[in-house]
Structure 1
Amino acid sequence: MKIYVLLFVLSLFGLRNALAQTEREITGTVVDSANITVPGINIKMLAGPDSAYITSDLNGKFKFATRAQSFKLIFSGMGYITTTREFKLQAGTGPVSLEKVTLPYLVNMLTTVHINAVKNPVTIKEDTVEYNAQSYKVREGSPVEDLLKKLPGVNVDKAGNVEAHGKPITKVRVNGKDYFRGDVQTATQNLPADVVENIQVIDDYGDQANRTGIKTGEPQKILNITIQKGKRKGAFGQVTTGAGSEGRYMVRLSANAFQEERQISVLGNINNTNSNGFNFGGGGNFGGGGRGGGFGGFAAPTGIVTNRSAGFNYRDQLGKKVTVYGSYSFANRDRDANSTSEQTELYKDSRILRNNQGINGSSNFDHRLDFNLEYDIDTLNYLKISPDFSYSGNDNINSTNFFNIISTIDTLTDKVIRADTIAGKQFTHNRSSAPSGGINVLYNHKFRKKGRTFSINTGFSFNRNENILDDQYAAARANGDSLLYQQVNSHTATQRTYANFSYIEPVGKATYLEAGYNFNRNNNENDRLNYRIDPETDRETYMDSLSTDYSFQFITHRIGLNFRGVNPKFNYTIGFAAQPTLLKGQFRGYQLSTTTFNWIPSARFTYTFKRNQTLSINYNGSNNQPGFAQLQPQPDLSNPQNKIYGNPNLKPEFTNSININYNQFDMKSGTSLFANVAVNQTSDKIVSNTTNNNLLDSAGNLVRIVRETRYINTNGFYTVNGNYSFSKPFAERKFTVTLHGNANYNNNVSFIQNERNISQNWILTQGVKFQTDIDSIIDSEISASYTINNTYYSLPSTIDADARTWVLGFNGRNYFFKRWILGYNFSQTINNGFSSTVRANPTLISSYVEYQFMKRNIASLKLQVFDLLNQNTGVTRTVSGNQIVDTRINRLGRYFLLTFSLRLQKFAGKGAGNGMFNQGSRGFGRPRRGG
């Protein structure tokens, strides 16, 4: 009997092992509606009588094994609708990778009589604030920019620059991928708001951090625009053309063809209404008069600008594993500007007042090409390759008339004991060309052990600049003019090589340890050839004493450990790194080098009090290398009014940064609060040491006022910045009150004639907005803001500066008879404390009347008037070291413009409708709420 029992037990073990050999490995990924992976989702697997419980990891991945040919998965998590998916496998024993599972956000059921599924207008997660587009209605045909203006905590200025939660937006993505290389205004001013499902404001720590989950350093604020599922198959676009008074004209084209993952966009623009096509510095300003019922080109760029631009963006999915996307952009700008400035320079025993009146004309062009390839090799390996190239050129002519007064001060009484004046003119012609490019490669490998990963992010970039400067300087004085003609040919080239290695090992169920190494090498080559030119014979003479040939390298190694913990209520990362740096240079056979060493702690903590209420704290340390002008051993004497002496013994700066963010949104009341505080402290800050060494003739007459600038390292520099935005809607969200403000304190350090000077600069702004949004009747905003800009100096002979600005505004739209729109924009600026030569208090009034016609109002005629009182000017104040500069520069003045616009749109699929002009559930058919 015992032998039979033993045989039966052994047979059960054999059967169990045989069945275990037929188990198949199942893997999958959980994402949200923006195709962003979701960690911490609970998953219940049901296969007949069997069940198992698993959780998605940091990258939204999950894995289990089963013998069943069919099974059911139930996904649940806070903020998401519980979702069930059923799967049936084909016969076989190999591993299976399931299609991505998309979880919709949790909806609220309002009232007991009428059950309506209402999405949360704002959803706040760890690094993301998501706005539901349908909760913020805009007029048909409005661009995304008009939608952004309605979002709490988001601000769009007149130039189209976007700021969210106190920080500038640096990049835009569409469905998770860069759109025109992330050009901000290119997306916000050309994509129609009608196709948008939601907009996400994301703290982005980079592709490598998004893959590993270890997020350190300073994040960028980026936008991700998610297109509605019903609008991902079809074509849409708009063409606008216009002509007006003062020779103004504009033509703008936007065309998009989307076929799920395949996206093609073409943009074109030509105008002389100061509307840019692309901003190659990290944003864009494609648009212009007539776009979306707004006032494009008004009170934005300075000077009078003619723009020509075109661009092409492409994205596609090649099979299930490869995604490609990239773009090409071209822009050409011609600019004419007139400026008036008053610059005050403060010294121990003197003050210099420089009054300048300048005329500037420039023409530049930019080409930009980028490409991205993402390859999901398998469930464990990922590769991304991103090359890019750009080429730009500039031709700039500047003519400046100057009148300078130098006042000698009695340091005991602070009275002027002597005043000398000098007047003159300086003419410069500057031509440059600058190719740049590089490639970035990211590889990520996941090991079989859950949570164990290895990644490398490496690349190379280069930047070259060839510059030719013709300079003519003439100063008038009693016994004759002082003339200086010269040509300066300069060449700069920078090559950067970098590599970031990361290895993550799980050390618990929800804790991870990262070992990282970062290498960065910047090689800089600089040479400057100076030629003095005889004004009478045009003969050139090479000046070896004014020329230089200097190269330097900045090399850093960073080795660190980071420990991360993941909890349903909070996440944290703490770490420590050691970073040695080497700064070395070569000048005419001499070797110069400086070494530094920094211990760098890092920390990041996020806490979720409850749904839609989060707090995050982030600390980071970083180095900043000196520039060529600060390092050059050979003095730069090319500017007769400003001689620059470099210091090759400078150390790199090191900055400690702390950022605190608090975000809160209440679904029931619609109240939102976004607040941020940032503190930055810099050691070995590179500051200027400024002296005045005025040139006199043999009779003691003033020939030239000369400022000499040298650079040194010092401590004591820090900044504190804070901002908030509080919004409260009422009367069923027809009205909204927003309070917003910011405070900036800069403890600047400089040296004036070898004496340390502390300039404490306060900039305080408080504003209020009252918005009215009544469907098909009115959409308006009344606003007011008050700004104080104060500067206090520690040296007794300096003058404290105090400037104040009021800005009052009223803008909006009213709708009449279904097809008529009246738009208006009024602003009054009141400046106090600025220099008398640049003072301006412009009253700006613009308006338009629009008539919509054709089926579903797809066409419109618009008559616009810009700057009715012809007072559009810009006044700014900058404070740096011992200088206070007030500047006034011309902007585009009064003109009238008549435009015609035509919108075409066709989508396929359920709920999207058919026909060229059918817009589905969010069509262009009838007047809706204003934007």
Structure 2
Amino acid sequence: MFRAGGVRRVQMANQYAETGRRWWCGDSAHGYTRTQMCKGRLGKRSALTRDQCTVPVGDAVVDAAAFNVFPDAMVDELLRQLPGVEVDAEGNATAMGESMTKLRVNGKDFFTNDVKEFISKLPAYIVDKIQVIDDFGDQANFTGIKEGKPQKMLNIVTKPGLNKGTFGSVGINSGTNDQYGLQGNGNIWRDTRQIGFSSRYNHADNGAGSSDNAGGGANYRNTFGKTSLSFNYNLNDNRSANESLSNTETVNTIGTIYDNIFRRANNESNMQSLNTSLQTTTKKMFLNVGANFSYSNNSTQSVSASNKTGIIQQDFFNGISGLSSSPVATLNISMSRKFAKPGKGFSLNLSSSLSGNNSDQNIDSRTFYYDAATGTLAKDSLLNRALGTDNRNLNTSISSVYSMVLGMRPDSARRNLSFNYRATFGSSNSNQLTNVIDAAGISRYVDSLSTDVRARNFSNGIGITYGYNAKKLSYSLGLNATGQVQNGSYFKGTLKRRVQAFIYSPVINMSYKIGPTSSLGAYYNGTNVPPTAYQLQPVRNVQNLQNTVIGNPDLKPSFSHNMSVSYNKMQKESGRSLMLSLMGGATQNQIVMNVVLLKDTLNSLKQETRFLNVNGTYSVRGNYSYNIPINKNKYNISFRGGVGFANNISYADNVKNYNRGINVSQSLATGMFTKTLQLNASAGYSYSTNSFSLLQFASRDIQTWNFGLNGSVRFWKGTGLSVMVTKQLNSGYVLSNTSPLLISANIGRGFFKNKLLSLNLSANDLLNQGNNLARSINGNTVTDVRTNQITRIFTAGLSLNLQKFGNGRKMAIEQ
């Protein structure tokens, strides 16, 4: 069953006391120690093993036995039945629209902590409970001071004795479109000691050309006493070809520019990364040191053809070839210390990152100009450029918090006061050398098209926060004040700018347990974003000859305010659940574009983009999810929906343009779940409209109806058949083929004991109607894009699967 409770990890090893084979947990999160017994699977008082010990306090907890899944199901199939949780076809999991980015098992780090990677590898039969947690980080759990926006974390609580295992697979696949591949992975899990590896190679022809994807990784994690150590190495090598067709509509005060663009590109990339972490936790001390390194190489060759009509009539052909490399190194140190007096503590955080980007590009551009009255070719121009770019960035931040207890109340509530200091430093050096190559192949350096930008950002901030922590109600209220200084140097130091700003922001964080099965939460988060070198440099960037970009050295940093309120309720007897969320945001000194039309040297028109700060951008959105289980979750009905409003600002020809957008979505889904048959049917509607204050810009509306039916059945010695049918009815797009009917199917069979060997045959998009269509709006431009890819694919796969958990016996799902 689902209940509004959660887990508070009890990590202090010296607070565990073993009595026979029973474990008792001490809880010191409120500044005192009280001993209590962990609750068992059905809420009854029972003794569990140490790895099972969790204390419910305020997050979503789901009993896995309340849901019907196939005996051979994986965790991702279990998650798809959870209220408010969605898992897409790629394995990305979200809870109430927010991504779940971190995974733990029994409250402990699990291999790479990657949700997407492991929910498809862990079997559902080992799961006792699923917990969706608003996670503020290990340091916040240690100190009890929670500020900022939490992340959605997935915690899997295993059944007793199943906190260890060995699992992995080796598979091959082949299919149409010259498709073939080989994958393998292996994992050794001994509670806190974990060793894993993975490798893959896939080849296919996606319709635009060949695509190769190869990679591998290895990770190690172990705990030595009170210290945990982890390493994670990854290597990725990709070669891909792609084609796309886009239609853009750009509005200015004198008219509209229509642009149809065809683009074809071949990309090659290689990336290596190493992530390391060392963490020590004692009763009085918390220390975490993390270091991450990555290096990537990229090679790109692309050609594009653009046909402009409207107030500009041009044809534009562009060819780009380039090489680039990007090294990145980061270091993070977090430390907290608790003093002898309960509730008194000090925390220090240091973060530093160093990154660079070096690239060389050759750009060949040819422009054809047409007479506006007759449409005949008037003139053309050819320009060949060589660009060399060197970017280097250093960002460092330090923060400290001192907290003290104001007193304990008789109801065991703790009141505390904390003081914080924050300082950041950012350094950005950007150099670009531009050479123009004439018809004879002679290269000439152009100083006016080259850049030399040096930007420095400093900020200092102080804050005070009052915290209250009780059994039902916890909140933090405070105020932060931040001063910012930005120094810029341009044209080799001949032009300098200094910009200052001072910002106040509140601290709001609250959680309230209304009853045993309902809770309310709210938080506020403020984020400072300095302008980039690209936005600051007062030099013409002519990589796109049809839209020259000139930065603004007087730009101020922007500051985003974000607020969220959530409410969860579960009816214990019926199992019905209601989840509500309301999110809003506003930005001070938002950096926006000002696109103006200018005469070019051939007496035609071209666009020029500049940047400026504005106020008045904001957004608000509300979501809900209501789930009705029937007959002990054998059937269910769920309603989901949301309404959002956004007000954005841009400029066209120095005239302010308001873009007000409304988005409405509503869906109804029903399901039937048994041990041999699972069916899901859904219907959804979404409506999106954008209205603009510029008179030339008509309202842009998109309506989409989605209908889906998918089912899975197990028959004849574990053979499985799955069919998925979806129908979309889209209106409002400029590009065609907007209402596809997609039909896919899969049949699989397991062989030998525990399905050691499995064979799968799959067919994707039998009618070949996939369209890969999307719309985006940026400033005064609306863009529809369709990626040209083959979507009708037939595949056969054979895999060898190894699984052994606990004592090696596969446990059936509990009755």
Q: TM-score scaled by structure 2?
A: 0.91
Distance 1:513 1:358 in 2: 58
Measure how far apart 1:556 and its partner are.
Answer: 1.5
What letter matches 1:656 in structure 2? Answer: H
Percentage of pairs with the same residue:
28
Unpaired segments ≥5 residues, structure 1: 1-31, 47-53, 64-72, 86-98, 106-122, 275-296, 408-419
1:852 match: 750
Distance 2:533 2:71 in 1: 51
Measure how far apart 1:248 and its partner are.
Answer: 1.2
Helix, strand or coil for the counterpart of 1:430?
A: strand
Task: Please list, as runs of the form range in 1=range in 2, the aligned pairs for 1:80-119 lying within 5 A after superposition.
Answer: 82=45, 103=53
Deviations 1:899-920 (A, max 9, x none): 1122212234xxx3x4xxx423
The yes-or-no answer on 1:566 pairing with 2:469 is: yes
What letter matches 2:729 in structure 1? Answer: I
1:116 match: none
The yes-or-no answer on 1:430 pairing with 2:401 is: no
Distance 1:878 1:204 in 2: 32
2:307 match: 403
The yes-or-no answer on 1:919 pairing with 2:810 is: yes
The yes-or-no answer on 1:37 pairing with 2:10 is: yes
Task: Please list, as runs of the form range in 1=range in 2, the aligned pairs for 1:122-133 lying within 5 A after superposition.
Answer: 125-126=57-58, 128-133=59-64
Contact kept? 2:402, 2:420, Cα under 8 Å: yes
Q: 2:233 aligns with which of 328, 331, 342?
A: 328
Distance 1:424 1:529 in 2: 24
Measure how far apart 1:270 and its partner are.
Answer: 1.8
Contact kept? 1:75, 1:84, Cα under 8 Å: yes
Structure with greater Cα Rg = 1
Helix, strand or coil for the counterpart of 1:507?
A: strand
The yes-or-no answer on 1:757 pairing with 2:688 is: no
Contact kept? 2:108, 2:192, Cα under 8 Å: no
Measure how far apart 1:200 and its partner are.
Answer: 2.5
Task: Please list, as runs of the form range in 1=range in 2, the aligned pairs for 1:143-162 lying within 5 A after superposition.
Answer: 143-162=74-93
Deviations 1:593-652 (A, max 9, x none): 111111221111211111121111112322111112111122212320111111111111
Q: 1:268 aligns with which of 193, 199, 204?
A: 199
1:900 match: 798
What letter matches 1:57 in structure 2? Answer: S
Q: 1:789 aligns with which of 688, 694, 697?
A: 688
Distance 1:616 1:552 in 2: 40
1:280 match: none
Q: 1:673 aligns with which of 555, 578, 591?
A: 578
2:22 match: none
Measure how far apart 1:507 and its partner are.
Answer: 0.4
Task: Please list, as runs of the form range in 1=range in 2, the aligned pairs for 1:171-570 lying within 5 A after superposition.
Answer: 171-179=102-110, 181-272=112-203, 305-318=211-224, 320-376=225-281, 378-407=282-311, 421-477=313-369, 478-509=377-408, 510-534=414-438, 536-570=439-473
Q: 1:882 aligns with which of 780, 787, 794?
A: 780
Contact kept? 2:434, 2:447, Cα under 8 Å: yes
Distance 2:133 2:640 in 1: 21
The yes-or-no answer on 1:712 pairing with 2:612 is: yes
Measure how far apart 1:104 and its partner are.
Answer: 5.8
Measure how far apart 1:801 and its partner are.
Answer: 0.8
Distance 2:176 2:379 in 1: 47
Distance 1:872 1:806 in 2: 16
Contact kept? 2:68, 2:634, Cα under 8 Å: no
1:411 match: none
Contact kept? 2:163, 2:191, Cα under 8 Å: yes
Measure how far apart 1:164 and its partner are.
Answer: 0.8
Contact kept? 1:452, 1:505, Cα under 8 Å: yes
Deviations 1:689-732 (A, max 9, x none): 111224363xx6x4xx5221111111111011221211111123
Contact kept? 1:33, 1:103, Cα under 8 Å: no
Helix, strand or coil for the counterpart of 2:772?
A: strand
1:812 match: 711
What letter matches 2:366 in structure 1? Answer: A
Q: 1:596 aligns with which of 492, 498, 501?
A: 501
Contact kept? 2:741, 2:767, Cα under 8 Å: yes
Helix, strand or coil for the counterpart of 1:272?
A: strand
1:738 match: 638
Distance 2:179 2:37 in 1: 58
The yes-or-no answer on 1:842 pairing with 2:740 is: yes
What letter matches 1:466 in structure 2? Answer: N
Measure how far apart 1:447 and its partner are.
Answer: 0.8
Deviations 1:260-296 (A, max 9, x none): 221111122222369xxxxxxxxxxxxxxxxxxxxxx
1:139–1:799 CA distance, 2 compared to 1 (3 A): same
Helix, strand or coil for the counterpart of 1:759?
A: strand
Measure how far apart 1:80 and its partner are.
Answer: 6.5
Contact kept? 2:272, 2:295, Cα under 8 Å: yes
Q: Aligned Cα RMSD in Å? A: 2.9
Deviations 1:25-62 (A, max 9, x none): xxxxxxx99781399xx99999xxxxxxx983327873
What letter matches 2:447 in structure 1? Answer: D
1:147–1:76 CA distance, 2 compared to 1 (3 A): closer
Greater shift in the superposed pair: 513-522 or 190-199: 190-199
Q: 1:821 aligns with which of 711, 717, 720?
A: 720
Measure how far apart 1:173 and its partner are.
Answer: 3.4
Distance 1:155 1:273 in 2: 29
Helix, strand or coil for the counterpart of 2:575?
A: coil
Measure how far apart 1:175 and its partner are.
Answer: 4.3
Distance 1:492 1:176 in 2: 41
Distance 1:263 1:678 in 2: 38
Q: 1:649 aligns with which of 549, 554, 561?
A: 554
Distance 1:450 1:179 in 2: 31
Contact kept? 2:419, 2:465, Cα under 8 Å: yes
1:732–1:264 CA distance, 2 compared to 1 (3 A): same
Q: TM-score scaled by structure 1?
A: 0.80
Unpaired segments ≥5 residues, structure 2: 20-24, 370-376, 409-413
Contact kept? 1:724, 1:742, Cα under 8 Å: yes
